Each structure stands twice: as structure tokens, then as C-alpha cells.
Chains A and B, each alone.
Chain A
């Protein structure tokens, strides 16, 4: 197996490591994996935290390390979190968005510009007849909403995008 195949194998394992607070959504689909490097049988993974105050980072690190070290040719796996590449909700993959909806969480809007009002469709019935109950939800990255069409409460991921002048 060459290095490219090995990196692919590592990435496929990362697809099985879920965010502890978003079961069924992998850290890879959330866009938290910045880089995977291999040196012999040692794996180095650079990850970007979603929110700075996220208390789940230590768990994520342990879960990633455990899962990767189960791969037969891997001796050690080191996980490093970096702030050099800020995470944004644009990094969530299409599969990630589908998985979020299954969990009752609407994915963040696409092409969101800072300051814009955003419409959130209900993850259950798809209606846009929804209202924001609280921008802040059970975790820093989520908001609480209510669907007036199917009358379900639900959550949505806040759009988090770069505000710096480009």
C-alpha cells in the first residue's frame, strides 16, 4: 500500500468517528480535519476546532486517536488542534448536511454573508415557516427554532463565516 492509499484509509476511518455532541455526523464531514500526514507507521492529524469554547475537543482527540491506532499498520497517532485555519460552516460536506438533518438539526445556510438574515428550513418537513426561538442552543454551534408548519421544535447550525475584509 502506498502513502496515498494509506491516507485514504485513514480518512475512511475518520468517517466513522462522530462528533460526541452530534452523533452520526463524523468529524471529517464536519470539516474538522485539516490535514493527514504519515511518517512510516506514525500518523499525524491536524484538526480545526469548530467553536473555541467547545468542551468536546478532548473527547474528539481521544476518539480519533483510538480509532486510528486500531488500523493494523499504525503504531501511533498524534492529533494536533490548530487555530491557523479558522473553521467555518462552509467546510461541512454534503453528506454531513444530510446526516445533520437526520439528527434533527438544519445545516447552515450556503453562501451566507455576515450580517444577512438567514432562512432556516425545518429538517423534518422542509417548510420555511419557521421561527428562531434562541440563537444560542445546547452547544455553541447550534440555535433553537420552531417549525410552525409541522409544529416541531428543532435546532440549526449557526452560520460561522469569516468576517475579515478580503
Chain B
């Protein structure tokens, strides 16, 4: 495997540059949007210790997004802050399930958020993130491999946390079990594009940046099947299309109006 050591080296090959750019957008946008949805739980988590834990995970995950946007900046596609805040929905590459609203209402007015969704979504996501980070840490782009190794050391605590919630709620009261199961079934019909790499996936694999979609899916299924009490028998689906190819729902527009509000109020400010 030819290892690409620097951004400058990556820029020499147009096909490689396109593949690494697309992959970085996916990694960055996934971490960014799930962190945003996590930040909306601040002060609302079921108890204060969970508030500390969830916000710590969210802050850390946003730190991972910052590293990926930083790598994109090195590749010359734009400033990290602008990449995070200014890109429209059609340019976003996050999986659609990750942008789903936390529930009815809004953060400032009557937030009727659903904890079962938070638990299932974060567990499914962190389980996949581990598989992907392991794959890219063995990949051909050295700057990404280094960042992935770093993220992997921290992410192990995130995954353990959400796995604990899954295990506890699935073995708690009937109400808890049903709510988790409903969200698992829902996720099953929506999560598939999160597991995929989009139209440039074959190029990413050809350039040895990451393992194949088939491998990622299989490894993820293996991980979650151990934890799920009732693994749905239906095939995985992508109900709203593929976020990897730029399909998105109005939930992403709602999110972007909020997360870019402060940024848009003064684009030249240093935070």
C-alpha cells in the first residue's frame, strides 16, 4: 500500500483527492450533526450525572469533527469554520438518520425530546464509528490515520457509555423495553445510508482509504447483534435516501438555522 504522508502529496492525484475529500466530509459531517443533536440535550438529560456525561461526549465528538474539518482545510477545500457552518444541505454528507430531530418541540420552547431515540441513535452511531475509525487508522492517508488513532482512544468511553444505557433499558421495565424496541425498529428502516460510503465509496476503497461498505455493515451488525435483545428480522433500509449523496430532510435545515446562527451573526469573529 502506498502511504500518502501529506496533504500536498494527496493533491497530486485528482482521483485520490476527490476520494479523501468525500470521506472526510462524511466523517466530519456525521460527528458534527450528532454533536449538535447531543448539544440540544444539555440540561435536559434524565439526571445530572447523565448531563455531565452526555455533554462531555458531545464536546469530545465535536472535537473530532474539528479535526476532520481541519484536515479538509489542509487539502485546500476551504476554512474549517466555513466548511462546518456555511455549506447548504445538498453539500452535506452526513447520514440522514443522524440529523433527525430529538423529538417534538424545540430546545427553548417545550422540548419533548425522546431519550429512547438518543440512546439508540448514539449507540448505533458509536458502534459504527469504532468500526470506521479502525478501518481508516489502517488506511493510506497518514494524516487521517493519525487522527483516527487519536479519536479511537477517546471514543472507547463513548461507546461503553451508550452500550450501558442500551443494556440497562432493554432489561428494565416493560415501558422502557418497548420504547427502545420501537426506536430500534425505526432506526432499522433509516440507518442504512449511515453505514454506506455514497457514490465515491468504490474510489475510497480503491485508494485504500477505508474498508468496503460490505465489511463495515457486517462488522457493525456483528457488534450491535450482541447487544440487541431483539434484532429486527427486516432488512436495513434508507427510508429518506442517501445523505452520502446529498439527500437530506427538512430536519437538517432546522438544525443548520440554529447551529449557524451565532456564526452568521459575525463571520469574522474569533471565538
Contact = CB atoms under 8 A, between A and B. Distances in A.
Contact of A136 (B67, B149, B157): B157
A140 B67 contact: no
A54 B146 contact: no
A126 interface: no
A140 B59 contact: yes
A86 B149 contact: yes
B125 to A, nearest CB: 16
Q: Which of under 10, 10 to 19, 20 to 34, or 35 or more describes the interface residues of B? A: 20 to 34
B183 interface: no
Contacts of B151: 52
Contacts of A133: 49
Given A52-B154, A135-B157, A136-B52, A162 B149 contact: yes
A134 interface: yes
Interface string A123-142: 00000000001111111100
A163 B152 contact: yes
Q: Which of A53, A83, A84, A87 has the most CB of B within 10 A?
A: A53
B60 interface: yes
Contacts of B161: 135-136
A55 interface: yes
B147 A83 contact: yes
A136 to B, nearest CB: 4
B154 A134 contact: no
A160 B152 CA distance: 10
A55 B156 contact: no
Contacts of B60: 51-53, 140
B57 A163 contact: no
A20 B104 CA distance: 39
B227 interface: no
B53 A134 contact: yes
Given A53-B60, A83-B150, A163-B156, A134 B67 contact: no
Contact of B64 (A52, A136, A138, A144): A52
A88 interface: yes
B61 interface: yes
Q: Which of A133, A137, A144, A163 has the most CB of B within 10 A?
A: A163
Nearest to B161: A135
A123 B61 CA distance: 30
Interface in B246-262: none
A125 to B, nearest CB: 24
Given A52-B67, A164-B149, 12 more contacts: A51-B63, A52-B66, A52-B154, A53-B63, A83-B150, A84-B143, A135-B53, A135-B160, A136-B52, A137-B56, A138-B52, A163-B152
Interface of B: 49, 52-53, 56-57, 59-64, 66-67, 134, 137, 143, 146-147, 149-154, 156-157, 160-161
Nearest 5 Cβ contacts at the A-B interface = A53-B63, A52-B63, A136-B53, A53-B60, A136-B56
14 contacts: A52-B66, A53-B63, A86-B149, A86-B153, A134-B52, A135-B157, A135-B160, A136-B157, A139-B56, A140-B63, A144-B49, A160-B153, A160-B154, A163-B153
